[in-house]
Every structure is written in structure tokens, then in C-alpha cells.
Structure 1
Amino acid sequence: MSTYKIVSDTASDIFPSVIDYATMSRVPFYVTFDKEHYQKEMAELSVDDFYNHIAKDKVFPKTSCPTITDYIDVFEPILNGGKDILCFCISSFFSASYQSAVNAAEMLKEKFPERRIEVIDSAQATAGMGLVVYQSYLMLEAGYTLDENISVSEQIKRDTVINFTVGSLSFLQNGGRIGKATALAGTLFNVKPIICMRDGELFPIENVRGIKKAVKAVIKKTDDEIDGNESDYLISMFYADSRADIMDTIAEHYSDSKYSFSDNLFRVGATIGAHTGPDVIALAYSKKYNLYTK
């Protein structure tokens, strides 16, 4: 039996069927549609309800990170059960979730001096973070010690990348990621941005006309970066509330490849979907954990 348990905030967007929740716990973000009433992601607001709300009411939701108390409420029962904790948080560039977890860990040290709470800034979000957390889970299942898991997870996160595009620029504009003029021009000329996330930050790559060309650009960029080393990587498509034909295009491209490809590990949840909107299409890739030195 493992001596530690994995904890993640809900920005990791892993499908519940993928993880054994006896081995992992999650700390929810908060979502509001009116800036007054907040709901806990997953616990009080499902992914389907979130996207249905956006489609029906044409609103731009806001998010708030877990509090110190939220983390303590998850950490304390694990510590009482005699286990250490390995906690992953969304990139600290985007949220204070990491700081909340660190503060909670510090507050619990005096009460549980014999236990360890290790908090990792994943430097990622959604499926990029999900791949980091998922591989940590696989290492735990494979018998890696806490220190071995930390060492390899820190290496994995540096080699994890998301390439994505969005169908509408309005959510990025509303969240302050792009200016109003850029969003307007993108809408008028059907321009879609290709964006990369690595090392905790977003990097604009190029703009293309139309969603189908944008998806092809995301695929090409991902293939170019992996550069023939398909068997060394986990790669996953992830989506929000997107068109089935677009997702089928990606799945078909990778159907006969040497990648460890999955189209059913991740769906963009409310934490990230509030900023990207329902039409985000992306690929995330991560080098396999057994290729790193413990």
C-alpha cells in the first residue's frame, strides 16, 4: 500500500473514469455566472451544466481559486489517515491556487510534524496539467516512492506542452488575454490563433483563417515538435463543447500512429473553459515517466 496520496486542484481536467479516487483527491475551483453566487466545480457544477449555461444565457463566467481552508479540508483527513501528500496545482502564472496549497501545508505542519505535504506548481493547466498528474498517478501505482515521484514529475512538467486553438476570441478578450481590437478583427476575418502553453505561460504562435486550418496547424506543430519520437510520448486530444467532426479529424490523424494517443482522458472543465470558451480544440503531449531517471 502506498504511503502517500495525490491531490490536484480541478484545473487538471482528468475524466473521473481514468483515476482511482481512493488514490487521488481533488480540490475544486469556484465558478460564478453573476459575480455573486459561486459554485464548486465538479462538486456543485458539472461540465455539461457549465457549457449549457454559457450556451443558453450567453454569459462570460468568472472563476475563483480554492481557498486555504479548502485545501486544509482535503489535506487533513489524508494526514489523519497516516499518509503523506503530493499536491499538484495549476500554473501559478494563472492562479493563486498554488499559494493557497502552500499556505495550507505550512499551517498543518505543526499539527502533523511527522507527515509530509509536497506542493508542485505544475506549470500547466487543463490536459497539460492532467498529463503531469496522470503520470504521477501511474508512478504511485507502479510503486515509486514520494521522492522518486516528485523528482520525475518535476522533469515531466518541463517537457509537457499544449498546442491549441479557439473557435471564438470573445472569451480570451473578456478575460484580458487579448485586446478588443484583436478580438474584433479575428471575428470579422475568421482568424483563429494558434497558441502554445509551456513552462507555465501562453505563447502566441501564428494566426490562420478558419477553424479547420487552425486544427491542422495544431496537429502539424505538435508532430513537428515530437519529431519522429512518437513512442516516447503520451499525447491526448482534449476539447470543451466542440464539434464532433473536428475531434474526429484529430483522432483519425493519430489512429495508425506510434503515439500513445488518447481521445478520452480529458475534457476542458469550468476553470479553463471560462477563459477559452466552448470551442477550444487542443493537443497536449508529455514524455513518458519511465524515460526519466528517478
Structure 2
Amino acid sequence: MYKIITDGSCDLSTERAQELDVLVVPFYVSTDGINHQKEIVELGIRDFYQFMIDNPKVFPKTSMPSIQDYLDVFGPLAKDGIDIICICITTKFSGSYNSAMNAKNMLTDEFPDVKIEVIDATVNTVLQGMLVEEAVAYKQMGATFEETVAYINKIKISGRIFFTIGGMDYLVHGGRVGKLSGIAAGALGIKPLILLKEGEIFNNGLTRGRKKSKQKIVEQIINIS
């Protein structure tokens, strides 16, 4: 018997996680720079995004789950002799994977017969959620622990996220582009096309205008498929 776990980056709703019988270790979110809330548990995903829409000049910060957060989830399962597969956000974006690995290492000595596999999804958000759904589907078909781990590691390398953005504010604030470049791009209506693959973000082109940027993203998806 084994349990599938993921972190809050997967963007699975509470209802969907319950339907899949998946445990989600949440990230922490701060909308004021002082107080932190557990995403999903204390602040819903849609509520978080709605806050960003309603407060465009406020830039929330997130922090990764701690080792203790993972111990709180892994520990009871290990005590019951249940093996664990944990699928984490790409290590290029967060230290969530490292927290999970540290928790695994702390429990391995105490529960040497329990198998714990922590997988770097190399993606995040919806695509990470899709990997979790695939793992659950494979498990439900009768796949063993080792087969499910091998399957997820096999298919994750083909994962791609193509996206564009409505404005440059978050890229400027996050330090991905300079302030002057961001102002110029915004004034000219330039929209970057972005590709996430193998755990990293790449520039995938530029367009003028929101409509054209979305059309180009669709074309890129069709071409790669």
C-alpha cells in the first residue's frame, strides 16, 4: 500500500484532492509581508488569485513548506507502514523538494521498511497537478510503488507549459526584467511568450498585444504536439 502526496504548487482544488485521495502539503502566503497563511487550508487558491486581481499594486509572497510540515504528513503514514510517493514543484522554483527530502531522511532511520520516494516534478501549477492525477490513475490500475515512480519519472520529461502574461508588473517586481525595460514593453504593448520545460523558464518569443500573444501560444502548442 502506498499514498500519493504533493505540495500546494499543484493547484488542485480541495475537492479534487479529496476525490483523488491525495494529501497536499501547502505553501505559505503573505499578502502583507508580515502575516502568513497556509494556502488551501487558510486561504483558498481562487481567493488568492482574486486578491491579486483586486489589489494589482500589492505583491504577495510565498514560502515553501517546512521540514516539519512534511514530517506532519509523512510521519503518521510511516508509522502505519504505508509507503509514500511525493511529487514536488520543480527545484528551480522552490526548496519544497529539499524539505520533503530532509523529512524523508529523518524518517528512514526510524522506519527502515517504509519506502519514501520524493520526485522533482520539473514543472509546477496545473501540469504538476496533471502528474499527480496520472500517478493516481496508474495506482488505481494496480501499478506497484516502483512502477508508478518509474512511470512519473518517464512522462514528466515531456511536460511543457506555454503561457503569456497580461502585464509586466510581476516580472519587474520579481527582478526578471529591469524596470525601464518593463515600462517600455508595457507602453508598446509587448507581450512575452514564455515556455516552462525541464524545470526552467525560457523566453519563447514576443508579440504585440494580448490577442496576438494568446493566438501565438495556441500555435506553439499545436506545433509541438
TM-score, length of structure 2 as denominator length: 0.95
CA positional deviation for 1:33: 1.5
Q: Say whether the 8 Å CA contact 2:193–2:213 is kept in structure 1.
A: yes
Structure 1 stretches of 5 or more lacking a match? Answer: 227-294
Which residue pairs with 1:121 in the alignment?
A: 120
1:211 to 2:210 alignment: yes
Q: Which has the higher helix share?
A: 2
Output aligned runs, 1:160-171, within 5 Å: 160-171=159-170
Q: Aligned residues: percent identity?
A: 38
Offset from partner CA, 1:152-199 (integer Å, 9 cap, x none)? 101111001000011011112211222222211221011111100000
- Give the structure, 1 or 2, with the largest relative contact order (CA under 8 Å, sep 6 or more): 1
Aligned positions of 1:133-144 closer than 5 A: 133-144=132-143
Could you tell me whether the CA contact under 8 Å between 1:165 and 1:214 is conserved in 2?
yes
2:30 aligned partner, one-letter code: T
Number of residue pairs the alignment of both structures matches: 224
CA distance in 2, matches of 1:52, 1:132: 26
Residues 196-275 of structure 1 correspond to what in structure 2 (within 5 A)?
196-226=195-225
Which has the higher mean CA deviation after the structures are superposed, 134-143 or 66-75? Answer: 134-143
CA distance in 1, matches of 2:20, 2:75: 15
Partner of 1:240: none
List per-residue Cα deviations over 1:115-171 (Å, max 9, x = no partner).
011000000011121221211111111111110011110111100100001101111
Q: 1:75 to 1:39 in 2, by over 3 A?
A: same
Equivalent position SS for 1:31? strand
What amino acid maps onto 1:95 in structure 2?
A: S
- State yes or no: 1:111 paired with 2:110: yes
1:73 alignment counterpart = 72
Structure 1 contact 92–98 (Cα < 8 Å) conserved: yes
User: How much does 1:7 deviate?
Assistant: 0.5
Distance in 2, Cα, partners of 1:179 & 1:115 = 48
What's the TM-score, normalizing by structure 1? 0.73
Question: What is the aligned partner in structure 2 of residue 6 from structure 1?
Answer: 4
Contact 1:132 1:160 in 2 (8 A): no
For residues 177 and 152 of structure 2, what CA distance do their matches in structure 1 show? 31
Counterparts of 1:175-194 in structure 2, within 5 Å, are 175-194=174-193
- The question of whether the paired residues in 1 share the 8 Å contact of 2:104 and 2:116 is answered with yes
> Do 2:14 and 2:40's aligned partners in 1 also have CA atoms closer than 8 Å?
no
Correspondent of 2:47 among 43, 49, 69:
49
Aligned equivalent of 1:29: 27
Q: Which runs of 5+ in 2 are unaligned?
A: none
| Higher mean displacement: 200-209 or 74-83 | 74-83
